């Protein structure tokens, strides 16, 4: 374990209960990752506004359909999408070689997570793990909507905006990891409900 290896130094011990302050502080940092997170959500929001204006003027969607597509998209993107999102994290862990994978939730913080008990991963592996749901969901839903289901464009855009906002934890942990200039490794301890971050000395 990295804690017992003298060539590594622990730089952060993060309790799962402290996740919200950690997320908020790191998504506010200056850097390409927080900037991308804010920009992609702004693009989706701007697209939704433009699509609503176009629909009202050109008439492809009634006011009722606009309303219900947005409501359904927001609910799907913030609630229904949670299981597939976490399963994709679990799949990423399996691809990286982890076997002791656990799914969990902290309903007080409205946080859902996947952990692999004491399975260390590098900064690059962390990026793969964190971004799989974001990349997969956006690519698949945008492709399906553009090719076959253009009539639910507003629903899809609302779903993706909600889902992408919910990816704040994934972007925040990458913001922290890539703000560290050295080689970084991290793992979770399920029993202690803590995440540990190490750098090579």
Q: What integer pLDDT is reported at residue 100 of this predicted model?
A: 87
Q: What is the pLDDT averaged over residues 152-179?
A: 95
Q: What integer pLDDT is reported at residue 172 of this predicted model?
A: 96
| pLDDT value at 94 more than 90 | yes
| Per-residue pLDDT reduced to its tens digit, 121-151 | 999 999 999 999 999 999 999 999 988 888 8
Rounded to the nearest 10°, the torsion over CA 77, 82, 88, 89 is 120
Provide the domain limits for residue 55. Answer: 2-200
Rounded to the nearest 10°, the torsion over CA 116, 122, 124, 125 is -20
Residue 197 tokens read as: 């971050």
- Yes or no: say if 90 and 133 are a contact pair by the CB < 8 Å rule: no
CB 12: neighbour CB atoms within 10 A?
A: 16
d(CA 175, CA 168): 10
d(CA 79, CA 91): 20
Q: What integer pLDDT is reported at residue 55 of this predicted model?
A: 83
Domains held by the chain: number: 1
């Amino acid at each position: 374990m990295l804690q017992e290896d003298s060539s590594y130094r622990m730089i952060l011990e993060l309790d799962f209960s402290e996740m919200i302050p950690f997320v908020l502080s790191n998504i506010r940092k200056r850097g390409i990752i927080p900037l991308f997170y804010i920009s992609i959500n702004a693009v989706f929001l701007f697209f939704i506004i433009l699509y609503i204006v176009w629909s009202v003027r050109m008439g492809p969607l009634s006011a009722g359909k606009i309303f219900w597509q947005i409501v359904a998209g927001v609910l799907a993107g913030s609630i229904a999408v949670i299981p597939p999102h976490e399963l994709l994290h679990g799949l990423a862990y399996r691809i990286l070689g982890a076997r002791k994978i656990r799914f969990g939730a902290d309903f007080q913080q409205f946080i859902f997570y996947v952990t692999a008990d004491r399975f260390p991963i590098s900064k690059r592996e962390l990026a793969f793990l964190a971004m799989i749901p974001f990349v997969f969901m956006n690519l698949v839903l945008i492709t399906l909507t553009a090719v076959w289901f253009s009539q639910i464009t507003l629903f899809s855009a609302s779903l993706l905006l909600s889902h992408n906002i919910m990816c704040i934890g994934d972007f925040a942990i990458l913001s922290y990891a890539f703000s560290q200039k050295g080689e970084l490794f991290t793992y979770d301890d399920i029993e202690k409900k803590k995440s540990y971050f190490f750098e090579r000395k």
